[in-house]
Structure 1
Amino acid sequence: MFLYCWLAFVAFIPATMATNPGVEVKLTEKGLEYGRQLGIAALQQKLKSIKVPDISGTESVAPIGKVQYSLSNMQIVNVGLSQSSTGLVPGTGVRLTISNAFISLHGNWRVKYLRIIKDSGSFDLNVNALTIDTSMGIKSDETGRPTVSSVNCAATVGSASIEFHGGASWLYNLFSKFIDKALRNALQKQICPLVAEAISDLNPQLKTLNVVAKVDQYAEIEYSMVASPTVSQSSIDFSLKGEFYNIGKHQEPPFSPTPFSLPPQTNNMLYIGVSEFTANSAAFVYNKAGALSLYITDDMIPKGSPFRLNTRTFGVFIPQIAKQFPGLMMKLLVKTVKDPIITFDPSNATVQATATVTAYAIQPNSTLSPLFVLNLESSVSAHLFVSSMRLAGSITLNKMNLTLGTSYVGQFQVGSLDNIFQMVLKVVVIPKLNAQLSKGYPLPTIGKMKLVSTELQVLKDYMLIGTDVQFTGSMLSQNS
């Protein structure tokens, strides 16, 4: 019912349906149990708000005769929901069952009998054998976010015991015959509406779901669902779009997600699978935005390096440069020429990138004179990890290959420049990329959600994040 920590991933169905998801999420029975604990605490607070109306009437009590009575100022002092369980109903949803619960209340009593005799005092009432059986329904609202409501609810109130403070013993006869039933009915009528209200109280929190999460000035990622959740006997599975877009312009890439499914898992509360499609949609977006290009100048090269970005250094390998452009500083432009390709294989994530490297001589008047253009094919390995609520990473160079594209200084042996450009990639380009990757990319989240004991493994075609979840800042207090 009250799956506070999981409704970030639950069934909202946007008008536009995609064929396959980029991100799959699995809520396990362990996660459902954590949701039950949060939900019971919230429901317990909600039931404490029961308002019991004053009860009054006239009844005949032997041997006294007619007795006018009233119970007033009744307040709930405790609610116990010690026995509860949640269950998955395959194809339907989640069911919450509470049994052997109790409600304690305190109030005042007053009686008048034999026309002139009045008596009053206080009482404590315990209502036992309380049962609640309810189910939660989930649908989407007009913004594509989830909204929840109570589908059905049944509540029964069992026996009641009362302790009067003041008054005679015959008051118990009055209670057991007449007042007991009236009190239990008054309580029973309010339980299911309060359950429905507690479920409805989730909706403001659900509106915090980052359906579209901003990444940076270039990109955002969409986490709307592409299908209804699948409820099985052991888990609830959610299919999210998981696609990067340029901010303000949602253009689909020239490729589509391929189906994948998460393996059966039970150790963690939550599993998130991020596909190659999601990663490659990010590469498409950043390349289209022109973000995968970098100007490199000499001040970006470590001071202790024997290689300097000037015509003197390059003139050692390409004499024409030293002759035609003596004593000038240089600038390099590294720019991708097509979308990088990211692949996931067991325990290995790699990125294949095709770029050009254009070398310029910087003239005294700051104009740039092109020297040559190299074609660069490179492969890097990616180490992926979860930091807070973001997926982050770092890369290391595997290999690179240079070929000559265009030369403005005559022909030369490109292989002689391998060491220079390996150094440029390792000490300038890759650290720049790692600085960006370390900032991470937002995962789907709701409210003040925190991932705990998180593990990430790279599998065939997707990466799998297994994690437990905690909420900080007490979501419960916001809904009680």
Structure 2
Amino acid sequence: MVKICCSLLLLSLLSGQLNANPGLKVRITQKGLEYAKEVGLEILKQNMEKEHFPDLSGYEKYGLGNVKYNISSKDSGRSTVYISKVFVTAIFSTPLDNTGHTSISLTSCRTTSGDIDIKLNGKSGFLRNFFTKYLKKPIHRSLVTNSCPNIRSGIHLLDEDLRSLNVPMPIDDLAEVDYSLNSLPAVFRQFIDLDLKGIVHPAGNYTGSPCVAAPFAIPDESDSMLHFAFSEYFFQTSSFAYYTAGAFNITIAEETCSYFNISTEIFGSIIPEISLLENILSYILQTEVIPSANAKLSKGFPLPNLANVTLTRPHITLVQSQSIGYGQ
């Protein structure tokens, strides 16, 4: 059984710090970190079971002479190696540029191990005990030598994945979301917070949004492994992006209007104030507006004398205004 205690120290190198408030927050709780640790240890265990140790050969001092050893994977027999108290200290940097893109690189790495116990099949004896005693050093040396290069290789693959991420990421044909880091991750005792920009742009148009992001916080809840928090700013930029892209442009034809015949009769049954206002306006129209207009029309008014225009047998008919239904 291999017991591994990994101590990861974050060394943050920041080339540019963005001070704007985020539109999206992600929180990884202690429960989520514990689950990630279990998954990581299981993956590590599976990888170690598939690992083939290289051949070991060399000399070890014994008294006044040297003991030569040569262990090959082609040798027959079976042995069991127990390694306990393995400590891997890895310091890696996560620089963040002005655009919010981050990368990861291994700054330093050190591996130390505790006791190594080797058991060979068969009866124990002086030569067998003598042999296993001098196998501990080369196995320890191989462990220390190969651990950090493997970690460095894994960090390099992770960095390539980070660089290959598409930022902004298309949502559909009309909009894209910028989910790059707004600031460096904040590491606390019980959780890790990630502040993301959370800005939605029209597709291919990355001009600034008229909306301003306000600060907000994630409620302190530890029941879940992962929390996503969307601010009002995220939805404001989403609406503006789709509006700018023309998603809300609607053409209503005459055939469509017949399904939306809006009148005071329809709204009057929903909002009583509309019916009351209709009665008042109808009374004013019949008692004040129409009689006044008819009185002025009955007096007549001069027609404009157009230059070089002669009217032959003109006929003008005066029709008085009549009461109509208002608001229908």
Q: Mark yes or no: TM-score above 0.5.
A: yes
Distance 1:211 1:233 in 2: 30
SS at match of 2:219: coil
Contact 1:61 1:174 survives alignment (8 Å):
no
Quote the offset at 1:195 in angstroms.
3.0
Q: Which residue of 2 aligns with 1:158?
A: 115
> 1:348-400: per-residue Cα shift (whole Å, max 9, x none)?
xxxxxxxxxxxxxxxxxxxxxxxxxxxxxxxxxxxxxxxxxxxxxxxxxxxxx
CA distance in 2, matches of 1:61, 1:71: 22
Change (3 A) 1:412 1:35: farther
Residue pairs, 1:270-281, within 5 angstroms: 270-281=226-237
- The correspondence for 2:89, drawn from 125, 131, 134, is 134
Aligned residues: 258
TM-superposed deviation, 1:70 = 2.1
AA at the equivalent of 2:241: V
Partner amino acid for 1:35?
Answer: A
Equivalent runs, 1:76-115 vs 2, <5 Å: 108=75
2:77 is equivalent to residue 122 of structure 1: yes
What does residue 259 of structure 1 align with?
215
Q: Is the 8 A contact 2:174 2:203 kept in 1?
A: yes
Is the contact between residue 23 and residue 240 of structure 1 (CA under 8 Å) also seen in structure 2? yes
Q: For residue 223 of structure 1, what is the aligned residue in structure 2?
A: 179
* Alpha-carbon distance in 1 for matches of 2:53, 2:188: 39
**Which residues of 2 match residues 449-464 of structure 1 at below 5 A?**
none
1:43: how far off?
2.7
Name 1:189's counterpart in structure 2. 145
Contact 1:24–1:239 (8 Å) recurs in 2? yes
> 1:239 and 1:262 mapped to 2: Cα distance?
11
Counterpart of 1:27? 28
Residue 53 (structure 1) aligns with: 55
Residues 193-204 of structure 1 correspond to what in structure 2 (within 5 A)?
193-204=149-160
- 8 Å CA contact retained: 1:138, 1:146: no
The DSSP-based 3-state class of the residue aligned with 2:251 is strand
1:30, 1:269 within 8 Å by CA — same for their partners in 2?
Answer: yes
Q: TM-score, normalised by structure 2?
A: 0.65
Counterparts in 2 of 1:59 and 1:154: CA distance versus 1, 3 Å: closer
CA drift of 1:186 comes to 2.1
Q: List aligned pairs for 1:276-425, cutoff 5 A.
A: 276-297=232-253, 307-308=258-259, 416=328
Name the residue aligned to 2:45.
44
The change in CA–CA distance for 1:254 and 1:134 in structure 2 (over 3 A counts) is same
1:174 match: secondary structure: helix
The residue that corresponds to 1:242 in the other structure is 198
What TM-score do you get using the length of structure 1 for normalisation?
A: 0.46
Q: Which has the higher strand share?
A: 1
Structure 1 residues 316-335: Cα deviation after superposition (integer angstroms, max 9, x where no partner): 99xxxxxxxxxxxxxxxxxx
Residues 87-129 of structure 1, C-alpha deviation per residue, up to 9 Å, x if partnerless? xxxxxxxxxxxxxxxxxxxx62xxxxxxxxxxxx534131321
Distance, in Å, in 2 between the alignment partners of 1:67 and 1:275 is 69
Does the aligned pair in 2 maintain the 1:139–1:147 contact within 8 Å?
A: yes
Q: What is the identity, as a one-letter code, of the residue corresponding to 1:44?
A: K
Which sits farther off after the overlay, 288-297 or 216-225?
Answer: 288-297
| Aligned-pair Cα RMSD in Å | 3.8
2:115 and 2:171 map into 1 onto residues whose CA distance is: 54
- Alignment-mate amino acid for residue 202 of structure 1: L
Q: What runs of 5+ residues in structure 1 fail to find an aligned partner?
A: 3-10, 74-106, 109-120, 302-306, 318-410, 417-480
Counterparts in 2 of 1:208 and 1:169: CA distance versus 1, 3 Å: same
AA paired with 1:22?
Answer: G
* SS at 1:146 equivalent: coil
Q: Distance in 2 between matches of 1:259 and 1:161?
A: 58
